[in-house]
Structure 1
């Protein structure tokens, strides 16, 4: 059988495409893409190598673990991811979170640190898979952009301050940022000049490379230059910290930590890490998907992130996320498919197998410079300040999150950010906007506003509540509706509620409130009509014991237009003196229609 026919049959299999969207895309690969993908993979690898090694130092594990955290995760995402451009790998924010959680628990034991890092990575992957199983991809919108801006700015500042110790050659005795800043003068007096000199040389090489050609992998060139200097001058002899011995080849198996007490300490931080990693990844993936004209699936991305993190843990690596800088490099070099990740992973694998010997000479201050440069790309104070002019509430959220990360630490700051996102959502649901509708000159129902494009219908108040009705906003709905009625200059004879916008599910508290509201309005001579979702509402009313469809009962119509017309017809029937016949009819709506016709 022709291979094209086989590939077509495989890719058209819905179950296969559901589980392996990336592989399904690769099976439709076009040969013309190969040159662009190879060029993009070389560029991505050039950027990924120094950054991965630097992030390993930030996480507190051996440099080679940073490379391990690239290989299998990139291959896994190429199979399970839905983005064609996204590159996964170590990320500044995720590494900072892991270090903040694991380092105090490890107690200075390097092996235990590595095992705890793997354990937390495994838990992060588990949370991602669980979220995907229950279709929690909607969490991509959970942390609002202002909260994420504040969070990333705070994390970046924390990383930069932490790396000052590596750049200057001293060790912090204080754990928290504020204490470190308070004693900064004392710390700077401990600066080790050879260490600072290596850092400045690395920075100089980086800046020179950028000046000569912005297209060159400046970070890789700077690390290579600093490593060569370290080897030639034997800077370790002068007290400069270097990476040290790095084993080549496939990593030896280390089992994660299964101490129940320690795992208990990691469960919630891993959940926070999963959420932040996913949201950060989705922002990157969606922006490049929109640029290149395709869509991504949030739930499948959650699953892909979970599998990639589990792959990282299995291969002795650490938690990963979407890498915005490497994704941008991929896109800028014309990467067309997930094959860029495959090629880049294989290139990094070659380094791990045969070229790890030079890694032992990489100076710690050089890695500190790379981390500071990478963290500077996360800082965007302009974005925070611009929120002040556009949305003061968003500015407040971003500022609170930023200072929370700085003052109380990364993990509590992330927890606060999650809570802020939750409270923001609850506030919007509990106290949503509402509006009144009127009729335009063309006879179309639309919102009443200051433009006077629509006019209210005399005697009829059409009300729209812009949130699903549930038990915790039902009282607010009732209060707002009654307030709207009292605001009207002319007496209200009929209230029409747009049921499409607010009745999304059966809630016995909501139905009880509607029954009470209908009876209260009836005593005031006001008829209550629910318009839209007629079948569901009739069913829900029956379940709640609410009578519908007759004199003194709750009225339900199929849509807003029908509700308005039927009420106007009823008023016309009153004027024609046929209303008593309607009241005695078993089906008032049908009798009304026949009477008018």
Structure 2
């Protein structure tokens, strides 16, 4: 028996989903030929993320080794529990900026307390991820629109760059927001330390120049190695250039973050955790779908929430920082030949080996080199100029939302900028939902098709007849808008005798929406306008029938298409005219 194209043969075995521990399924079907690709990819990704995660830790204001703790925990735990085989999980510049903003908002200055607080909000975000996974509420991340995310990340990048400028010049700067901090830095430029400025400028030239002349070369790794060699050869520390300082070697210890510290700043911690979840989930879900589609395997978005919960929970318990998808690391993982989560485990183990054997070497890293590393990471990873241009070209309102998110982030801080961004997304959603498109339709010449008159002004309008299409649900949020449109139409057209409502776009009607249909019949009746409905969907018709509204409209006034509704109404009008 042949099976129609696009349908699954019911006799064929179902492919199992990823399961609670997807790595087990990957290992059961593991092929020897995959090992080389996984090993190469894992080591290549480690070479990329080790220097970058030093920078991300610097953004968050925590000890540099804590960034590596998070990188190892995130990579290993996601590899075990994540359903996407190519994703590389670890700290990111955007999440680091949120963590730094939370520390600033909580006014925490002690180094140990900062590290504990960042670890605490990381663990809290992991718990929130787990709640979303259990409740299957991953859709909550959709309330942060693409325009808002683009604007927030752009503003956060500017905020981070301004914060790193003093390290490039060897000066001090402070301020209540990014703008005042920038002014403070400019005011202190006469005190610039020349050697520090020279090292910082050279570092920026190297890291950005490599992107232009040799984009495949890992610029962050080159910059870190070069900075360490420069300090060794030129003794930069004794020339007044600030160095990173002592970095202890060894594996991370399991430490439960201070609950009292979180309780003291409960509002800030909860807001930061929510922001981390919404940003992290939106990044990972999109990347996971893309890699799964490319390599033709199945992922489970709910399992992705579980994986992020455990990755962030582990990062928090091992004194780390928030983790999520790194698109650059994931892309490198894919291009280097990663076939399973084994590649991420190799990356995590390589990071751990670095912590054990190489951590003290980073003590001689000049701070302006680290600043240049951070600036390159946020500029290239968070400032999406092409997307802003696209928003300006395609939808000016989305561009305005993105710009507002940028300004809000700069004026009130990264964390508050995320909250404002969520508010802007919700306001935009409410505005769109409560103002459905209600176009007038005309008949395409020589056909029975009815189209939007605004798009096709040459289409025919029948005298005394108006056809309105409702593009969206008729429910509590839209009922008033629909009624106002019909009321205005009746008042604007004194000779109107037939009103046809094209309900093809109506896929939702609640109790208030059903009552609204009854009200439209009453309005039309008072104005002596015949009311008919076309293309009513079965689910919508069922609601109207339970409410008795179909009988109020008249079952003979409900038609399968607009042409039938118009023809029936015109015939009835002509019949009445003849009788008169």
Q: TM-score range by the shorter chain?
A: 0.7 to 0.9
Matched, 1:483 2:488: yes
CA apart distance, 1:171: 3.1
- Tell me which residue corresponds to 2:405: 401
Determine the C-alpha separation between the residues in 2 that align with 1:202 and 1:567.
73
CA apart distance, 1:555: 3.6
Determine the C-alpha separation between the residues in 2 that align with 1:256 and 1:82.
28
Match of 2:330 among 327, 331, 339: 327
Within 5 Å, which residues of 2 pair with 1:8-87? 17-21=18-22, 24-25=25-26, 27-87=28-88
Matched, 1:371 2:367: no
Determine the C-alpha separation between the residues in 2 that align with 1:225 and 1:374.
17
Q: Cα deviations across residues 476-501 of structure 1 (Å, max 9, x unaligned)?
A: 11111333455669734352341x53
- Tell me which residue corresponds to 1:592: none
- Tell me which residue corresponds to 1:122: 123
2:292/2:299 contact within 8 Å kept: yes
Bigger shift: residues 441-450 or 518-527: 441-450
1:521/1:528 contact within 8 Å kept: no
User: Are the structure 2 counterparts of residues 558 and 337 from structure 1 closer, same or farther at C-alpha, using a change threshold of 3 Å?
Assistant: farther
Match of 1:309 among 293, 308, 312: 312
Unmatched segments (≥5 aa) in structure 2? 1-12
CA apart distance, 1:209: 5.5
- Tell me which residue corresponds to 2:132: 131
- Tell me which residue corresponds to 2:156: 155
User: Are the structure 2 counterparts of residues 225 and 539 from structure 1 closer, same or farther at C-alpha, using a change threshold of 3 Å?
Assistant: closer
Determine the C-alpha separation between the residues in 2 that align with 1:488 and 1:365.
72
- Tell me which residue corresponds to 2:391: 387
Determine the C-alpha separation between the residues in 1 that align with 2:287 and 2:473.
30
User: Are the structure 2 counterparts of residues 472 and 230 from structure 1 closer, same or farther at C-alpha, using a change threshold of 3 Å?
Assistant: same
RMSD across aligned positions (CA): 3.5
TM-score (norm 2): 0.85
Number of matched pairs: 560
Bigger shift: residues 417-426 or 249-258: 249-258
Unmatched segments (≥5 aa) in structure 1? 1-10, 578-597
TM-score (norm 1): 0.83
CA apart distance, 1:473: 1.8
Match of 1:411 among 389, 398, 415: 415
User: Are the structure 2 counterparts of residues 556 and 576 from structure 1 closer, same or farther at C-alpha, using a change threshold of 3 Å?
Assistant: closer
1:20/1:79 contact within 8 Å kept: yes
Determine the C-alpha separation between the residues in 1 that align with 2:573 and 2:497.
17
Q: Cα deviations across residues 360-413 of structure 1 (Å, max 9, x unaligned)?
A: 222222111100111221224454345334322222112211112122221222
Bigger shift: residues 315-324 or 191-200: 191-200
Matched, 1:435 2:439: yes
Matched, 1:229 2:233: no
Bigger shift: residues 40-49 or 26-35: 26-35
Determine the C-alpha separation between the residues in 2 that align with 1:494 and 1:203.
67
User: Are the structure 2 counterparts of residues 288 and 457 from structure 1 closer, same or farther at C-alpha, using a change threshold of 3 Å?
Assistant: farther
Within 5 Å, which residues of 2 pair with 1:523-534? 523=526, 524-529=528-533, 531-534=535-538
Bigger shift: residues 314-323 or 178-187: 178-187
- Tell me which residue corresponds to 2:275: 272
Determine the C-alpha separation between the residues in 1 that align with 2:269 and 2:217.
40
Q: Cα deviations across residues 405-429 of structure 1 (Å, max 9, x unaligned)?
A: 1222212222111111111111100
Determine the C-alpha separation between the residues in 2 that align with 1:547 and 1:557.
13
- Tell me which residue corresponds to 1:495: 500
- Tell me which residue corresponds to 1:97: 98
Secondary structure at the counterpart of residue 397 of structure 2: helix
Determine the C-alpha separation between the residues in 2 that align with 1:557 and 1:59.
68
Bigger shift: residues 511-520 or 436-445: 436-445
CA apart distance, 1:351: 1.4
1:534/1:557 contact within 8 Å kept: no
Determine the C-alpha separation between the residues in 2 that align with 1:99 and 1:529.
57
CA apart distance, 1:340: 2.5
CA apart distance, 1:156: 1.0
Secondary structure at the counterpart of residue 17 of structure 1: coil
Matched, 1:470 2:475: yes
Secondary structure at the counterpart of residue 19 of structure 1: coil
Bigger shift: residues 183-192 or 276-285: 276-285
Secondary structure at the counterpart of residue 401 of structure 2: helix
Determine the C-alpha separation between the residues in 2 that align with 1:362 and 1:460.
78
Determine the C-alpha separation between the residues in 1 that align with 2:363 and 2:417.
35
Determine the C-alpha separation between the residues in 2 that align with 1:475 and 1:250.
62
2:441/2:453 contact within 8 Å kept: yes
Bigger shift: residues 399-408 or 533-542: 533-542
2:157/2:378 contact within 8 Å kept: yes
User: Are the structure 2 counterparts of residues 293 and 435 from structure 1 closer, same or farther at C-alpha, using a change threshold of 3 Å?
Assistant: farther
Bigger shift: residues 228-237 or 439-448: 439-448
User: Are the structure 2 counterparts of residues 334 and 515 from structure 1 closer, same or farther at C-alpha, using a change threshold of 3 Å?
Assistant: same
Secondary structure at the counterpart of residue 259 of structure 2: coil
